Amino acid sequence: MIALLTLLAGGFVTAVAPPEPFGPVPTPQQLAWQRMEFGMFCHFGINTFHNEEWTDGTKDPKTFLPTAFNGRQWVETAKEAGMGYLIVTAKHHDGFSVYPTEEGDYNVKASPWRDGKGDVLREVADACHELGLMLGVYLSPWDRHDPLYANPPAYDTRFKTMLKELLTWYAPVGEVWFDGAGSEGHVYDWNGYYALIREVAPDALIAICGPDIRWVGNEDGLAPDTLWNVHEVTLPIPGSGGSNEKRWYPSECDVPIRKGQWFYHTDGESNLRSVRELLDIYYRSVGLGASLLLNVSPDRRGLLPDPDRERLLEVARILASTFHYNMAVHAHVSASNVRGNDKEYAAGNVTDNNPDTYWTVNDGVLQASLLLRYGSDREFDRVMLQEHLPLGQRVTAHEIQVYEAGGWKTVASGTTVGYKRIHRLPLTKASRIRIQITDALAPPAIEAIGLYKASVGENTE
């Protein structure tokens, strides 16, 4: 019998077919990217040496002179903080390239740093690849230095050559970040840029002014409370067959660790965000299903400033301590409905720590609940949910309830779940916890549930 079912199901021991995917679903690259959750942005360039956010393209390249550059320190810090990727500014709006491009003359080769042989990207890329972080590159379309900028076709050709340099010299590159700032009214060959990236680095995701990763819409690190991964993308997308296609388009929240400063400023330390602010940003980005791209700008030494580094690592330690123990794995978990009563889709899948398994329900069922039971009370103040994204995003409303004095009491509620939803609650004691999916666009498919107690460190200022 099992053998027959195995044959019928194409190799899987299951009697019931999985639900059809609902709407657009992530590509494997998007899903892997979403699962990293947290990345570091490093703005480093000629601005670093002028206490300015946007220099105008006239600063002398000789002023780019880090005294103790160590790209590995950036990557090691990101890794220690639990980040999965790091994005470097190869060229910002001022047009100065921190890698030895063969295009133009406004780049590291014109600086006395390491006798004109320095290469920021080389060291950061090598360290990323060695330590297992995904490397991303920021290449500003807006260029305030390059005389070719006034001649769009000539500039496009140069820009594509630079993209090709970055994607081949520092391969593999996982994300290309196209900033829209300053570009109002300028016509770029976006289709040509995208086609080149797809050809040279098919696994690279194109972010912001691009079809794969969406800007969350602010620089405060805050995602909206209802966050969908499916959006209508209006940019030109090669091969998409139209400009208003609905596609999987996950959000990235970019935010600087020093308020308002993407580049290092010698007098900027008072802008360093507090532990409490950074934790809040984490919960309001990752905790709402977006990715968090936190900018830590290297200083004039070419190192992450000590206070910023310590602040980041402190936040990372606190988060690791909050989330290291998921007490849901010790609950008895049951569900109001299990698809075909098949154990392939059982409630227990939400606590098995396996992203490939999930709990789901019969076709047509849009409301369902999971019940977590313990023999005695547990104390928790964080509840985490994740949908199984390979089947598309489905949940539109949910509630967390606890059984108390003879009745169910709602302690948290929300709309979308998506990649992840973390609720912060007052410290709650209960032996029965119910996760209610109260509405969905298609039968819910939940991959993971977590119950945690926040580290005392979360009360740090």
Residues in contact with ligand FUL by the rule CB under 6 A: 43, 53, 179, 181, 254, 262
- The least CB distance from residue 221 to ligand FUL, in Å, is 12
The sign of the dihedral angle between the CA atoms of 325, 330, 332, 338 is: positive
Of the pair 69, 262, the CB lying nearest ligand FUL is at 262
- The least CB distance from residue 137 to ligand FUL, in Å, is 13
Of the pair 143, 254, the CB lying nearest ligand FUL is at 254
- The least CB distance from residue 328 to ligand FUL, in Å, is 37
The answer to whether 220 touches 255, Cβ cutoff 8 Å, is yes
Of the pair 147, 180, the CB lying nearest ligand FUL is at 180
- The least CB distance from residue 140 to ligand FUL, in Å, is 7
- The least CB distance from residue 59 to ligand FUL, in Å, is 15
Residues with Cβ within 8 Å of 284's Cβ and at least 6 positions away in sequence, in order, are 221, 222, 223
- The least CB distance from residue 278 to ligand FUL, in Å, is 17
Of the pair 120, 446, the CB lying nearest ligand FUL is at 120
Name the token pair of 58.
Answer: 């006239």
Q: Tell me the residue number closest to ligand FUL, measured at CB.
A: 181
Of the pair 53, 381, the CB lying nearest ligand FUL is at 53
Of the pair 113, 262, the CB lying nearest ligand FUL is at 262
- The least CB distance from residue 38 to ligand FUL, in Å, is 16
- The least CB distance from residue 257 to ligand FUL, in Å, is 13
Of the pair 185, 426, the CB lying nearest ligand FUL is at 185
Of the pair 64, 359, the CB lying nearest ligand FUL is at 64
Of the pair 179, 344, the CB lying nearest ligand FUL is at 179
CA distance from start to end of the chain: 61
- The least CB distance from residue 295 to ligand FUL, in Å, is 7
